[in-house]
Amino acid sequence: MRIPTSESTTTGDPRLLRQECILQTMEFVHLHVHTQYSFLESVLTVEQAVAGAKKLGMKALAVTDRGNLFGALKFYRCARTEGIKPIIGCELEVADIHNPKPSGDRSRNRLVLLAKTDAGYRNLIHLVTRAHLESAPDRKFRHPTVCKDWLPFYGEDLTALSGCLMGEIPRLILSGKFDAAKRAALEFEKVFGHGNFYLEIQDHSLPEEKTVNRALVRLAGETGIPLVATNNVRYLDRRDQPLYEAVSAVRRGGAAARATNAEFYFKSA
């Protein structure tokens, strides 16, 4: 089913959001949110996300589930009903699917895309659909993966965020490859257009983030690429962290892992 979109209802451009929602009141708008449609990677429902945004007085909200748009229609309707501007997005796995590295999953990098217009939404659909149809059959990747070569063909009317610690630029920074990270950032800016690519600053009290954030600030200064602050939302509030850990254990097949802290909640700022 087609979801009607327009600049006035689904804009994913952080500059416009800043103009409309932030500058006068210094409010924070969530642009990196996972719901229950990020299967076994979030315990936040669409309804909780929208209610959380409304409670905090936010005028807009993005949902960026991993590798799918299954919740887009539900989110759109729920947000509009509550007077929240819906921003339809997706967190994608990006790689060269024709030349995967022997390291498997390490060759995939996450990238957040937000639809600015109807055309951007259609481009997002094309990318997600191709990822499911073309990367899964050869089983070289465990998750639907977008080929990096596709981005120039479907980048129009999309805003891109550099992603979490599993994004290409943060990974390069953590590998001590600042110059390579700078080249990657400039490549993304070229693909999506000046002002449509943002370096994503996150703070979940992780030591790696401090290293990445310092480098991103430097990178922004050297390239003119703007910064945007996000929180990688996985649950509504801190009390839901144990439930999230339990669900994550199911995703790992019951394997134990280092518990995350309780910073991945729907923050006010």
Q: Is residue 188 a contact partner of residue 200, using CB atoms and an 8 Å limit?
A: no
Of the listed ranges 9-23, 31-45, 168-182, 231-245, the least confidently predicted one is 9-23
Answer yes or no: are the C-beta atoms of 61 and 79 closer than 8 Å.
yes
Range name among 21-35, 136-150, 222-236 with the lowest pLDDT average: 21-35
Q: How many CB atoms lie within 10 A of CB 261?
A: 10
Give pLDDT, residue 261.
87
What is the C-alpha to C-alpha distance for residues 142 and 72, in angstroms, rounded to an integer? 23
- At 140 the pLDDT is 63
Res. 19: pLDDT tops 90:
no
Q: What is the mean pLDDT of the chain?
A: 88
What dihedral angle (degrees, nearest 10) is formed by the CA atoms of 13, 15, 16, 17? 80
- pLDDT-derived band at 1 (thresholds 50, 70, 90) equals very low
> For 209-221, what is each residue's pLDDT tens digit?
999 999 999 999 9
Name 81's Cβ contacts closer than 8 Å, sequence gap at least 6. none
18 pLDDT band, cuts 50/70/90, is very low
| Polymer length of the chain | 269
**Which pLDDT score, from 0 to 100, does residue 243 have?**
94
Residue entry with tokens 């229609």:
73
CA 7 vs CA 39, 115, 157, 258: distances in Å? 29, 9, 10, 42
Classify 15 as helix, strand or coil. helix
Residues 6+ apart with CB under 8 A from 59: 20, 21, 27, 29, 84, 85
Reference 94, options 103, 106, 76; nearest CA is 106
Determine the pLDDT at residue 134. Answer: 87
**3-class state of residue 120 by DSSP:** helix
Query: What pLDDT score was predicted for residue 23?
Result: 35
Phi–psi pair at 161, nearest 5 degrees: -115, 145
Q: What is the DSSP string of 60-118?
A: EEEE--BT--TTHHHHHHHHHHTT-EEEEEEEEEEE-TTS--TTGGGG-EEEEEEE-SH
For residue 167, what are its two tokens? 């994004």
- What pLDDT sits at residue 4? 42
Q: How far apart are CA 203 and CA 67, in angstroms?
A: 23
- For residues 130 and 150, is the Cβ–Cβ distance under 8 A? yes
Q: What is the model's pLDDT at position 142?
A: 72
Give the pLDDT of residue 209: 97
| Confidence grade of residue 96 (pLDDT, cut at 50, 70, 90) | confident
**CATH class, 7-164+230-251 region:** alpha beta
The per-residue pLDDT for range 61-82, each reduced to its tens digit, is: 999 999 999 999 999 999 999 9
Range scoring the smallest mean pLDDT among 114-128, 154-168, 250-264: 250-264
* Poorest-pLDDT segment among 95-99, 196-200, 213-217: 95-99
Does pLDDT of 85 surpass 50? yes
DSSP string across 182-215: HHHHHHHHHHH-TTSEEEEE--SS-HHHHHHHHH
Query: How does residue 189 score in pLDDT terms, banded at 50, 70 and 90?
Result: very high
**Model pLDDT, residue 79:** 98
Do 218 and 208 touch, CB atoms closer than 8 A? no
Whether the per-residue pLDDT at 170 is higher than 90: the answer is yes
pLDDT category of residue 5 using cuts at 50, 70 and 90: very low
Is 80 exceeded by the pLDDT of residue 100?
Answer: no
d(CA 89, CA 35): 12
pLDDT value for 6: 42
